Amino acid sequence: MRLIAIDLDGTLLNTESKISAENRAAIKKALISDCIVTICTGRATFDVKALLNDLDIPIIAANGGTVHDFNYKLLSRTLMDRETGKKAAQYLTDHHIYFEVYTDDALLSPFDGRQKLEAELDIAVSANPNEDRDTLWQGALTQFKQFGIKPVPDIRDVFNGSENIYKLLCFSFDLEKLKKAKEDLSAYSKLGLTSSGKHIIEILPDESGKGHALRKLAKHYGIEKKDIYAIGDSPNDLSMFEEAGHRIAMGNAIDELKHMSTFITKSNDENGVAYFINKLLENEYH
């Protein structure tokens, strides 16, 4: 049996954040060909379910925060230390960095987050006239279009309650501010940092990550590393690649993933996932 782990943004999803008919058909074909297919993403589980629609497959969500089997059965969860998360949230608030908190039922965001990001974008474009404003804003819109996003008056309040917290996602158009935040937050014990894009920092429990979760799912099914196929494009896919015997980089992937890869497929707008899966099933991948 083979396990195919697929990232979402920049991989299975095209630039319109949709799963193409070709990619969906290829996954269904793999499922009837002695393969287990799992989504391995930074998105929340409920968001993934909405995107998958009729596809019932295992889901690794929140960068490994939750692992669900078929029929949405929870296999494991990795929670953020509440006090450490509270300190990180305070730091981000003090430094005026937009962030979201991932819980079981919602993506909590500041009620004025969109307006603040628009103001930050205006400053970034003024300082860098060669940047295309619409292209930059599309990156932020991806966050606001997620299923389950819930604006709240003070996002820090969640750390005083009992909700499960899986990760924090930060987004900023100010790359220097983001770089400084990454340096400062990396010193926090019990936290790990990764990224799914140029303007994003993802803050996780230090024992979380796509790689840890993929290893758990593979062990659950008794699948060896040599039979794991990971498909991705971004820095947060690196740990997933380390756990896979076969590492498939998207045509639009970062160079680091391409250098680690055993195969480079087409881009996410060219149905790169379907292109690889079809090659695998037709014994054209070696």
Instruction: Give me the residue spans of the domains in the chain.
Output: 2-77+209-281, 82-205
Q: Which residue stretches of the chain have pLDDT < 70?
A: none
Q: Helix (H, G, I), strand (E, B), or coil: what is residue 61?
A: strand
* Residues 155, 99 contacting (CB under 8 angstroms): yes
Assess whether the region 2-77+209-281 and the region 82-205 belong to the same CATH fold: no
Which pLDDT does position 197 carry in this prediction? 84
Level-2 CATH architecture, domain 2-77+209-281: 3-Layer(aba) Sandwich (3.40)
Closest CA to 223 of 232, 212, 214: 214
Catalytic machinery residues: 7
| Topology adopted by domain 82-205 | 3.30.1240
Which pLDDT does position 148 carry in this prediction? 86
Name the pTM for this structure: 0.91
Rg of the chain over Cα atoms, rounded to whole angstroms, equals 18
Helices 175-185 and 82-94, axial angle in degrees (round to 10): 150
